[in-house]
Chain A
Amino acid sequence: MTPTPSRRVMTRRNLLGLGLGTAAAGLLAGCAVPGSTNVNKAALVPAAAGGETVQLTYWGWLKDLQKVCDVWNAEHPRIQVTANWIPGGNSGGYQKMYSALAAGGGPDIGQVEFRQIPEFMLANGLVDLARYGAKDVQSRYDEAAWSQVEFVDGVYGIPQDTGPMGFYYQTAILEQAGGEPPTTWDEWRDLADKVRGTGNGNYLEVFPVADASPFAAYVQQAGARWFRTDGDSWVVDMTDDKTMMVAEFFDGVIDAKLVDTSAGAYTPGWYAAAASGKIAAVTSASWGDALIQSVQGGEGKWKVAPMQTWGDTGYGSSSIGGSTAAVLANAKHPKEALEFITWMTTSKEGVDAMIRYCGIGWSPAKDYIGKARQQPSEWFSGQDYNEDVFVPSAQEQNLDWSWSPVTQSAFTSLQNQFRRKLTGGLKLTDAVELAQQEIVRSFQDKGLSVRTAR
């Protein structure tokens, strides 16, 4: 072997330098601020050509979503949908979608909760489906559901399930406490007091300080309207009379130790308490039925009643959660995706498959609640609770309620302040006010124009 001439070493160094230079250049190009390109200002993505087979991916946290896709795939060989399971919403699913979007990828369709749509819009993460003909199918959906996906003349998601609320309760415990399902929140408080009397550690319900969604649902029912727009500016109004009334009510309930604040509904501790009869009831959305059926030995012990109201103010019911199938910004085939989503959410086959395999919440299809829901449920003591409770509940919603582009930080602020109720005795009324200050700051941090209503 002859010693290498030094020239070759230089060449290799040059090559290495060139490689690093290219990498650095690519890096800087990739460093564009995530979410700064608006796909809805770009040209429409044309429909696939006749002979082409379109492959769609759908990221969602519904169980067995692939089985629903399989029903569609069997009938529509041209459009094949693959479902990928992601963790539920903010427990990892959104984080995954956001990072995929920031990296310039992601699925065609993503499961996005109603309340999260504005936030995805802010990240420029959603395709405006009005440009692909979504308004033509608007008439097939519930008004309350559709009102939550329309923003600035666009349609940013198709309702997939909603969460009208009811009062789930264990019949035997209420009988033992000598109470009836409450029709108003005041009656609910009396009932909570009676249940406390049945034994140490027995509660009617939980009030989760670490999850503000139930609280938001209660103020929504009372008729509050936290976020609205005024021209190009957002208006935050969380210290109105309705919100203060609800916060004061729960301050009183928590101070009197009438609710369990140690954990939220559907957590492991809650299931254990519900199974042993230490938790008697839960005010929850229609999708809670599937979760409650996981309470051990609960079959035949539970029933559902209409949600308790705030007396002469507000609405008959409220809603928690509910999600849409949204077309994400980097979708290759938005038109075909919309076609699939419309089938999935409004056709009888689609709705039935979604209920059977995924156990979705309330179907937003206007005139079909699903075959399985038109009959009594044995688990829920033979009650035909869907038609009894949730059909009317879905109609008695606060249509003026709207979410904001800072939903996550709003909930985080509320929850972090609510926790201080337990850790430092902060009143919920004050917590809401402190949270509002933080929320206004979040708007400003996002570079949005904002003011408070009062």
Chain B
Amino acid sequence: MTATQPGSGFRTSTKATSAQKRAPWILLAPFLALFVLTFIIPIISALFQSFTTVDREGLFGEDGVTGRFAGFDNYVTALNDAGFVGSIWRMLLFGIVQVPVMIVLCTILALLLESASARWPGFFRAVYFMPYGVPGVIATILWSFLYVPGLSPIVSLLQSMGLQPDFLGANSVLWSIANIVTWTYTGYNMLIIVAQLKSIPGEVYEAAKMDGANAFQVAWRIQIPLIAPALVLTTVFSIIGTLQLFAEPQILSTVAPAIDTEYTPNYAAYTNAFAFNEYGVASAQAVIIALAAFILSFAFLALTNRPPKDDRDRRARAKRDGLEARRALQGRAPARPVVTTQAAPGLQTAPGLQNGTKGADA
């Protein structure tokens, strides 16, 4: 880490002094200490535990308890548990529906707030963001009062209209949870997108106006392509968040009999660890959840980070042409250079996206 010199710097040497070398470490130390203590060490400990199991002698293990290396036994147990595997599929279904709904919703809100005709954008931004300030547990308790028949004004209203809503039934409770999650996080994701929208330079809008673009075209052709990095970011966060769903179903289980203790992957791991004292299996489940989140996030990044379609076509064509040319001109130098380099598309990728996703390609 070399210190950057201001243009008018009085020092001529670019070599960092010892103080300059030390400074970043000293500044990072409080963070690093906490990060290692509360993040790295628990992860290593969980990995370690996921490969251990316990043998007991006697009715309660009173004659001896020994821990031993278990190989992949805990992983086999976890993956053979129909409830746990079912919970992962349930979360996939949840994610496939809830994440797009939320991303579309927050994008619409952000575009409305940033449109030229928006009234009191600051006020509405705060209002939309407010649910995020309510802790998840409290939000779930509040919503549960809107779901429970006999307490909920919504249920009473629908009943008076002759409907029989069942927000907590076996088939509907997943979507009741999705509603809570969407309510909580739409405002938060909206804020990320608003920040990205604000970074679009005014000249771009001006140019669009000169070209006669209407409001919808500005949104569709200018704003959405330019906020793509923010959309990718919020989607990845939402995918990870979906797999980690825990507080909402756990709290709601007190009023919804359909929610069992393996309703979500994290709930299953929590139950195994702290209700059944099966730390080995719970750690294996936690590792599996982490791997699943990892794979899904990277799959999504790889998908969104593909070169644009015309570029892909060009490459495929170039490859085909190259092969044909090689076949036709066997043993001779190719007549024309083969195009394989990626053409830089104009507005297609913003700098942030390119930086942020290069690693995913590697």
Give chain A's interface residues, CB within 8 Å of chain B: 1, 3-4, 8-9, 12, 23, 27-28, 30-38, 40, 90-91, 94-95, 98-99, 102, 118-119, 121-124, 151-152, 208-210, 229, 232, 234, 261-264, 267-269, 272-273, 276, 278, 405-406, 408-409, 412, 415-416, 419, 422-423, 442, 445-448
> Which residues of chain A come closer than 8 Å to B257, judged between CB atoms?
208-210, 261-264, 419, 422
Give chain B's interface residues, CB within 8 Å of chain A: 15, 17-19, 21-22, 36, 41, 44-45, 48-49, 52-56, 58-62, 64-67, 77, 83, 144-145, 148-151, 168, 170, 253-255, 257-262, 270-271, 274-279, 281
Contact B21 A23 (CB under 8 A): no
Contact B255 A267 (CB under 8 A): yes
Q: Give bound CA distance, A90 to B277, whole Å.
A: 12
Q: A33-B54, A102-B279, A263-B255 are in contact. Are A38 and B21 (CB under 8 A)?
A: no
> Which residues of chain B come closer than 8 Å to A90, judged between CB atoms?
275
Contact B254 A151 (CB under 8 A): no
Q: Give bound CA distance, A272 to B44, whole Å.
A: 48
Contact of A272 among B65, B151, B262, B281 (CB under 8 A): B151
Contact of B254 among A234, A267, A405, A412 (CB under 8 A): A267
Contact B277 A3 (CB under 8 A): no
Contact of B150 among A91, A99, A276 (CB under 8 A): A276
Q: How far is the CB of B11 from chain A (nearest CB, A)?
A: 10
Contact B17 A268 (CB under 8 A): no
Contact B44 A36 (CB under 8 A): no
Q: A27-B45, A38-B62, A232-B59 are in contact. Are A419 and B274 (CB under 8 A)?
A: no
Q: Give bound CA distance, A3 to B18, whole Å.
A: 6
> Which residues of chain A come closer than 8 Å to B66, judged between CB atoms?
33, 36
Q: A9-B21, A32-B67 are in contact. Are A447 and B49 (CB under 8 A)?
A: no
Contact of A121 among B15, B44, B53, B60 (CB under 8 A): B60
Q: Give bound CA distance, A121 to B260, whole Å.
A: 26
> Which residues of chain A come closer than 8 Å to B278, judged between CB atoms?
445-446
Given contacts A267-B255, A408-B276, A409-B275, 16 further A-B contacts (CB under 8 A): A3-B17, A4-B18, A27-B45, A28-B48, A95-B274, A98-B277, A123-B277, A151-B60, A208-B257, A232-B58, A267-B254, A268-B148, A272-B150, A412-B276, A416-B83, A447-B54
23 example contacts (A-B, Cβ-Cβ < 8 A) are as follows A1-B18, A4-B17, A4-B18, A12-B22, A30-B45, A33-B67, A35-B54, A35-B277, A36-B54, A38-B64, A94-B274, A95-B274, A98-B277, A121-B62, A122-B60, A273-B150, A405-B60, A408-B276, A412-B271, A416-B262, A419-B257, A447-B53, A448-B61
Contact B150 A1 (CB under 8 A): no
Q: A1-B17, A209-B257, A447-B55 are in contact. Are A412 and B275 (CB under 8 A)?
A: yes
Contact B18 A124 (CB under 8 A): no
Q: How far is the CB of B361 from chain A (nearest CB, A)?
A: 31
Contact of B44 among A27, A268, A408 (CB under 8 A): A27
> Which residues of chain B come closer than 8 Å to A264, judged between CB atoms?
257
Q: A122-B60, A267-B255, A408-B275 are in contact. Are A35 and B65 (CB under 8 A)?
A: yes
Contact B148 A272 (CB under 8 A): yes
Chain B residue nearest to A269 in the complex (CB): B148
Contact of B56 among A28, A95, A447 (CB under 8 A): A447
Q: Give bound CA distance, A151 to B60, whole Å.
A: 9
> Which residues of chain A come closer than 8 Å to B55, judged between CB atoms?
447
Q: Give bound CA distance, A160 to B99, whole Å.
A: 49
Q: How far is the CB of B343 from chain A (nearest CB, A)?
A: 45
Contact A445 B67 (CB under 8 A): no
Q: Give bound CA distance, A416 to B257, whole Å.
A: 9
Residue of A1, A34, A267, A406 most packed against chain B (CB within 10 A): A34
Contact A4 B21 (CB under 8 A): yes
The 9 closest A-B pairs by CB, nearest first: A33-B67, A4-B18, A95-B274, A210-B257, A272-B150, A423-B170, A447-B56, A121-B60, A269-B148
Q: A261-B257, A269-B255 are in contact. Are A447 and B61 (CB under 8 A)?
A: yes
> Which residues of chain B come closer than 8 Å to A30, judged between CB atoms?
45
Q: How far is the CB of B257 from chain A (nearest CB, A)?
A: 4
Q: How far is the CB of B347 from chain A (nearest CB, A)?
A: 46
> Which residues of chain B come closer than 8 Å to A123, judged between CB atoms?
277
Contact A262 B276 (CB under 8 A): no
Contact of B276 among A12, A91, A409 (CB under 8 A): A409
Residue of B144, B145, B170, B275 most packed against chain A (CB within 10 A): B275
Chain B residue nearest to A24 in the complex (CB): B44
> Which residues of chain A come closer than 8 Å to B260, judged between CB atoms?
210, 412, 415-416, 419
Q: Give bound CA distance, A34 to B277, whole Å.
A: 9
Contact B255 A268 (CB under 8 A): yes
Contact B277 A152 (CB under 8 A): no
> Which residues of chain B come closer than 8 Å to A408, judged between CB atoms?
275-276
Q: Give bound CA distance, A152 to B258, whole Å.
A: 39
Q: How far is the CB of B141 from chain A (nearest CB, A)?
A: 9
Contact of A419 among B44, B59, B258, B271 (CB under 8 A): B258
Contact B62 A99 (CB under 8 A): no
Contact A269 B52 (CB under 8 A): no
Q: Give bound CA distance, A138 to B236, whole Å.
A: 60
Contact B52 A119 (CB under 8 A): no
Contact B59 A152 (CB under 8 A): yes
Chain B residue nearest to A90 in the complex (CB): B275
Residue of B62, B149, B151, B258 most packed against chain A (CB within 10 A): B62
Contact of B261 among A38, A276, A412, A446 (CB under 8 A): A412
Q: Give bound CA distance, A12 to B281, whole Å.
A: 40
Contact B151 A152 (CB under 8 A): no
> Which residues of chain B come closer than 8 Å to A268, judged between CB atoms?
144-145, 148, 151, 255
Q: A98-B277, A268-B151, A416-B260 are in contact. Are A152 and B62 (CB under 8 A)?
A: yes
> Which residues of chain B come closer than 8 Å to A95, judged between CB atoms?
270, 274-275
> Which residues of chain B come closer than 8 Å to A412, judged between CB atoms?
260-261, 271, 275-276
Q: A121-B62, A419-B258 are in contact. Are A31 and B49 (CB under 8 A)?
A: yes
Q: How far is the CB of B14 from chain A (nearest CB, A)?
A: 12
Q: How far is the CB of B21 from chain A (nearest CB, A)?
A: 7
Q: How far is the CB of A273 from chain B (nearest CB, A)?
A: 5
> Which residues of chain B come closer than 8 Å to A36, judged between CB atoms?
54, 65-67
Q: Give bound CA distance, A363 to B278, whole Å.
A: 34
